[in-house]
Structures are given as C-alpha cells and as structure tokens.
Amino acid sequence: MFKGARTLVETCAQVKKGENVLIVTDTTKIGTGIAESLAAAAHAVGAEAIISVMTARQSDGEEPPKPVAEAMKKSDVFFTPVDKSITHTLAVKEALAAGARAIMMSDYTGDLLISGGIEADFYALEPICDKVVELFTIAKQAELTTPGGTRLTMNIEGRKGRVLRGIIKPGEFGAIPNIEAGTSPIEGSAEGIIVVDASVPYLGIGVVSQPIRVTVKKGFITEIEGGAEARKLKEDLAKRKDPNVYNIAEIALGLNPKARLCGIMMEDEGVLGVAHIGFGTNIMHGGKIKTELHYDLLMRNATLKLDGKAILENGSLKI
Amino acid sequence: MIRGASKLVNINVQVKPGEKVVIASDFNKAHIAKVLAIAVLESGAEPTVLLMAPRQAHGLEPPAPIAAALAAADVIFTPAEKSLGQTVAIAEARKKGARVVILSEVTEDLLISGPIEADFEAQEPLCKKLADLLTQAKEAKVTSRLGTHLTMSLVGRNGRALSGLIRNPGDFGSPPNIEASICPVEGTAEGILVVDGSIAGIGKLSSPIKETIKKGFVIKVEGGPEALRLQNTLESAHDVNAYNVAELGLGLNPKSKLTGFLLEDESILGSIHIALGTNIFMGGKTKTLMHIDQIILKPTLRLDNKMIIEEGEIKV
C-alpha cells in the first residue's frame, strides 16, 4: 500500500515539505493501513502528518465533528479514507474555500492503493482531462450509445464541463483513482434507454451479473427492468418517495487506462471506455436538483457523440 | 485500562452526552488514545482522536490543524509523549472554555492501577486549602533529614489547586496528579536542596542530588550519575533561566508511589517537588525551554513558620 500512498501524496496531492497534511478517517477505516500509509508517505516527504479519527458517519453527506472540520480548514492537504462520504459537506466546502487540496477516499480499500487505477501516469492524463472537459463545456447535445443497447440523448447546452483530475490544485478535490470528465444535462432533457452492463457501485450491487434496462423519459427514469439487482435498485428508489431521485443528473466518461471494474465506485467510474449516467442530486455537478441520493449507472464500451461528433467510440478516445 | 479511562471521563472530567471531546495524541500513544475514545463514546459524547508525530520536547506547539481542533473542543485529553500543557494552543482552548486533561508520558499502567484509584473528590478540600495557604504565605521554608534547607519568598504569588477534578469551563489538570503548587518569587530562593525521589526526564534517583541555590538560581549540582545527567540537561538549554527555581508543589495523591513516572511521583502524598526552568504558565515570569520537576520525599515544609508538612506527614 505504501507505493500507492506515495503516489497519492507526492504526485496527486503534490505534498511539500513542511505542509500540514490531515488524514480524516473513522472508526471503520483506522487500522486498515490506508490512513497509516498516507501518514507515513506524508512524513517521508517532510510534511507534518496528522491522522484524525472520528466515529463513522451514519450516512453520506453527514458533517464531521466540528473539531475535525476546523482541523480541515487549517490543513494544506487532506485525505478522507472514511466509510460514508463526506465529500458533499460544509466542512469540505469551507476547507477547499480556504485553499486546501483534497483527495476524497470514501469507501476506499487497501486494494485501491496496491494496483489498478493508482498505477496510472497522472501527469500524462492531465491534457486529456483538459480536453474532454472543454468539449463537454462547449457542446450542446450529447448522445450515448453502447453495444449493450444503451441509446440516450440529452441537452447539455450552457452546462460547464466538470473533471476529477489526478493532480490536485489548491481549492480542488480529486477522487483518485477515479479520473473522469462529464457534465450535468439540462433537467427534463434526457430521453432513451440505458442498459447497465458494467456496474452500479451502490447498495452493495457492484459489477452487475445481468444487465439492468432503464427507461428514461423527459429527464426522469420511468422504468427499471432486469434481475435481482434491478429489483434492489428499484425498491431502494421507490422507498425514497421523491420523484427527484429519478432525475438524470450526470453524464461522464472514465479516463483512467489503468482502472478496472471491481465494484468500487472510485475505481469503476474511472475506467477508460466506461461511461456513467448519474441520477438523483445534480447540484454538485452544476445542476439544480437536490435530493437524498446520487447513484450512478455504468456502461461498457461506450460511444459518446457531442454535437454529432464521436469523442469516445466503442470505448476508445477519439480526441 | 478502560476502567481508568472511564474514571477520567466520567468522574474527573464529567464528560456529558453530546460534548465534543478531542483526544490529541501522537503515533506512540495511539493505543491510549483509543481506550480514552472508547470511554468517551460510552459516555455518549463525540470523540475525535488526533495523532501527530511525537513532538521533540515538552511545550512545543502542535501543528495548526490540531490547534484548530482543540479550539473547537469542549473537553481535551492529551495522551502524548511530550506535554502539550504549556502551549499557546492549549491556553487558547481553555480561554474558549475547554476543560483540559494533560496526560504527558502516560502509560497503560497509569490507567490500570495506583494513583488513578484515588478518591479525587475526597482530596479536593485539602488541595484547595493548601493552595489557599500557599497564596496567603509570604515565605516557604523546606528542610529535610538529608540536608535540605531552602527558603523562598511567595509574596504576591497565588497558589493553584490541581485537584484532578476538571469539571468547569477552563479547568485544567493532569490526573492522576493531585497537587497544590505555587511559583516562588524569582530571585528569592536561597539554600541547599537535596533531591532524593526522582527527576522528570531522568527517573528514579539511585543516590541523592545536592543542589546549591543562590538568588533564585541553582549554581551547583553534586551527586552521582543522575546529577551529571541533570547538569547536561540544564546546560543543553544554553539559558541561565533553565536554572531558575520555578515551582514549589505539594503532592496529594494517597495512592501514588515512587515509580520514576512523573505524573505519579509528583503527586505522592507528603512529598514536595521543586521545579526548575519555565514558570510563566503558572503565574511566574520565566520562560525557557524546559520545566524540570524534582521530587523530594519526606520533606518538612513551613509556611511563615507554620508547620505544613513534617517529614512527609501533612499537618493541616
């Protein structure tokens, strides 16, 4: 794990000697070696490494305790190997506003520090990230198709592209090994069929054992069909009793050639050639909907056309 | 260990449900931080454990993120290798109302048996009374069978009661240490001090150390191998203030025995300690790199000629 921790510390977060590096972890993740490896890697470059341990949060988006939030604001860099995501919290927002560089590591496992996406050449990925995010920003129309049967169109005009990079700048966060670029389609505009044949990295589903067929009309999911995994997803959404959980919230492409499908969100969404459609909340992706969840549907060997021009064709980048 | 930790949390500090408790520790003391966190969780409060690289010396500031976390805490425990007691970070947190338990050099043993088993509430009245007597006194005189004969002025200085009970906002202590203490006026200590118990950072003494004190400063240290170590430590400060007679403290924990461990030794009932170096954090005027407690067993202490301790027995 130490090699991967060094990559995160030295390459991705660009930690310098004397910087305050805070590792925000919780009672479920301390002892797994992730926080410890990061602290050792930060210490090795001469930074001041601090591990902060809180009780595991009850749900995604729950604020950390105030002392942790205050510590985050005073750190130059922070990492968050925690169980439930704290990415979309006030604490993170304020720490980033104060200029911190962050690497979000919710639901992380030691494996992610050993092989796969962590082995990417993150410097080489930077210009690709820049290019793809720009293409999303200028495009008006997106069309996603896959050999599995996906055919979804949506309006993305006026929405800014969004990128999760491998090399983090002050005030930004990353979710390495997830390197992705995408945007949030205009609400109500998505139409078509999504056939999920890669992964749903939520609800314990992971890599799907049989395809899930999702019908989308006027920007909302109207039908979910398939096997046991489809039913699990459908039932979870039904019990939220909020139509906005069905909102098509995001379209994005994985850009990490070393990432491989394993059922963990941070790795799966980064896989080059895999596209994902997020649904539910889109406020952090540039949209207007806030609801209690944001899930993603992942498809293999995607083809994405922006204004009729393919930028990804059967899983290969065409830029 | 959980029993001792629970006692600190529930009796000494009376942590309440929902309070934000910061346990500021380091990579060498994480196991103790964990036990404290479990006790805090059981009390219904919210623990946050912070681990840093051990500081190089007592009194060095923690990194800025930890200082910020301390400032947001209701209760602070510091099971750390080196004491955070005399830092700006802790002083600021206390100003904001935090209750602070300093646990430097704390070991597992300390949370299992010995001084932690004391009845802290029972000792509190004596602790407060002795602190008052120290406040009122103009002069202290320490003597002992081993040849100590030391006088010092206490005029205008306030005694402090560290009862080990840390229940009100801004309270501070190092349980299981129970002591009443004061800073003598700088420049006034005169005489001979024979240290026969232990010395912070050095441990139990194999033979007594004789110190000659003039105008408030130690000018001569004599004795065995530990005397040499003490001399070397004092010299390493490269500052005459390291030799300053900084504190007179009275140990008040009936369960403490001489172990070489400072928090226990300085609280031995009937012992006193005379510290050298910094005293600015206890009401004095001297700030240097160190504060070295030296424990004297079975002393006789008079305040304005009134007998307070007679050969290790408290007469109050």
B63:A20 CB<8 A: yes
Size of interface A-B (CB pairs under 8 A): 74
Q: Quick check: B206 and B224 in contact, CB under 8 A?
A: yes
Q: Using CA atoms, how far apart are residues A138 and A157, in angstroms rounded to an integer?
A: 8
Phi, psi of B181 (to 5 degrees): -150, 170
**The tokens of A229 are what?**
């995994």
- Please give the biggest Cα pair distance in chain A: 54
Q: Walk along chain A (319 residues) in steps of 10 and give the mean pLDDT of each run.
A: 97 98 96 96 98 94 96 98 92 97 94 96 97 98 98 97 96 97 98 98 95 98 98 96 97 98 95 97 89 94 98 96
Q: Quick one: DSSP state of residue A271?
A: B
Number of compact structural domains in chain B: 2
B284 in the same domain as B161: yes
Q: Quick check: A161 and A137 in contact, CB under 8 A?
A: yes
Q: Quick check: B217 and B240 in contact, CB under 8 A?
A: yes
One-letter identity of residue B43: S
B104 in the same domain as B199: no
Within 18-37 of B, beta carbons closer than 8 Å to A belong to 20, 22, 27, 37
Q: Name the residue among B20, B63, B73 with its Cβ closest to that of A48.
A: B63
Q: Using CA atoms, how far apart are residues B63 and B273, in angstroms rounded to an integer?
A: 31
Q: What is the pLDDT of residues B110-168, one digit of tens each?
A: 889 999 999 999 999 999 999 999 999 999 999 999 999 999 999 999 999 999 999 99
B256 in the same domain as B133: yes
A53:B41 CB<8 A: no
pLDDT of residue A177: 97
B106 in the same domain as B49: yes
Q: Quick check: B164 and B175 in contact, CB under 8 A?
A: yes
B134 in the same domain as B84: no
Whether B170 and chain A come into contact, CB under 8 Å, resolves to no
B79 in the same domain as B127: no
Higher pLDDT, B261 or A55: A55
- Domain end marker among B65, B85, B112: B112
B22:A67 CB<8 A: yes
Helix (H/G/I), strand (E/B), else coil: A303: strand
pLDDT of residue A149: 97
B20:A55 CB<8 A: no
pTM of the model: 0.89
From A66, which residue of chain B is nearest by alpha-carbon distance? B72
From B47, which residue of chain A is nearest by alpha-carbon distance? A54
B175 in the same domain as B133: yes
CATH of the domain at B70: 3.40.50.2300
Q: What is the pLDDT of residues B32-52, one digit of tens each?
A: 999 999 999 999 999 999 999
A67:B70 CB<8 A: yes
What residues in B contact A50, CB-CB < 8 Å? 50-52, 63, 65-66
- Domain end marker among B79, B112, B145: B112
Q: Using CA atoms, how far apart are residues B49 and B36, in angstroms rounded to an integer?
A: 9
**DSSP of B109-128:** GGGTSSGGGS-HHHHHHHHH
Mean pLDDT of the B273-286 span: 91
Q: Name the residue among A43, A55, A71 with its Cβ closest to that of B69.
A: A71
Whether B47 and chain A come into contact, CB under 8 Å, resolves to yes
pLDDT category at B282 given cuts 50, 70, 90 is confident
Tokens 């044949």 belong to A197
Q: What is the mean pLDDT of chain B?
A: 95
Q: In Å, how far is B35's CA from the nearest CA of chain A?
A: 13
Q: In Å, how far is B297's CA from the nearest CA of chain A?
A: 40
Mean pLDDT of the B89-102 span: 96
Q: For chain A, which domains are there?
A: 2-114 (3.40.50.2300), 120-317 (no CATH)
What are the residues facing B192 on neighbouring strands? B149, B212
Angular region, A107: left φ>0, alpha ψ -120 to 50, beta rest: left
pLDDT of residue B87: 87
Cα atoms found within 13 Å of the Cα of residue B46, Cβ hemisphere only? 17
pLDDT category at B244 given cuts 50, 70, 90 is very high
Q: Which H or E element spans position B239?
A: none
B147 in the same domain as B94: no
What residues in B contact A68, CB-CB < 8 Å? 48, 69
B72:A67 CB<8 A: yes
- Domain end marker among B66, B89, B112: B112
Sign of CA dihedral B89, B243, B203, B197: negative
Containing structural domain, residue B75: 2-112
What residues in A contact B49, CB-CB < 8 Å? 51-54
Tokens 């129309």 belong to A141
Q: CA–CA distance from A318 to each of A145, A306, B130, B172 (Å)? A: 15, 12, 83, 65
B167 in the same domain as B303: yes
Whether pLDDT at B59 is above 80: no
B226 in the same domain as B304: yes
B26 in the same domain as B124: no
B224 in the same domain as B209: yes
pLDDT of residue B170: 96
